[in-house]
Amino acid sequence: THLASSETVPYVSPLRRAWGGIKDNWKAGGTVALVNLPLSISLAVASSSTPVAGVVTAFWSGLGASIFGGSEYNIVGPTGALSGLLGHLVQRFDVDCLPFVAIIVALITFLAYLLKFERYVLLVPVSVMEGFTLGIAIIIAANQLNFAMGLPPLPAQESLIANVIQNLSHSSDANWQAIIMFLASFIML
């Protein structure tokens, strides 16, 4: 409906709007949290953090989806794109840096929203997006090589190539049952 020039839109406080978002979207938010749970845990481990951090992430993303949701096209969840960066930060500064990184990323995202930067994403070629996604997949896979080989925990190296070389140098300690299980799982994907 179109408002006449003399009509005004009633003011709704941000707190009431947030509560209305939770009330209207709590089922969707709960679904997001449950769907995100396994992915959040695995990305937490891939980022050299703890599974508990993944559970907390799933909870907060579900709550965020409840508050800020409302579109049938929203995709809310953890992102694998940050796991390589987060793993590096955890190795360098310890796991205690993750809440600060989350707050900074949230502020940058909110700033991008305020400045309407999302319209420029359409200018990025598909090949760049696909290459970025493939690069992330390679980084995540290479950082998990020791698990695929069934190796005991090895000290993390600062560079991806150093990690891969270290894992391959310990290939004599590999657990062949773990390798067979990894290959069977990989083939089924």
Mean pLDDT for the stretch of residues 111-134? 85
pLDDT band at 88 (very low <50, low <70, confident <90, very high): confident
How many CB atoms neighbour CB 42 within 10 A? Answer: 17
Q: For 77-91, 112-126, 167-181, which range has the lowest pLDDT when averaged over its residues?
A: 77-91
Question: To the nearest whole number, what is the mean pLDDT of the chain?
Answer: 76
Exposure letters 62-100 (e unless 16+ CB within 10 A, then b): bbbbbbebeeeeeebbbebebbbebbbbbbeeebeebee
Instruction: Answer whether 0.75 is exceeded by the pTM.
Output: no
* Most confident segment among 35-39, 71-75, 93-97: 93-97
Task: Report pLDDT for 1.
Answer: 46
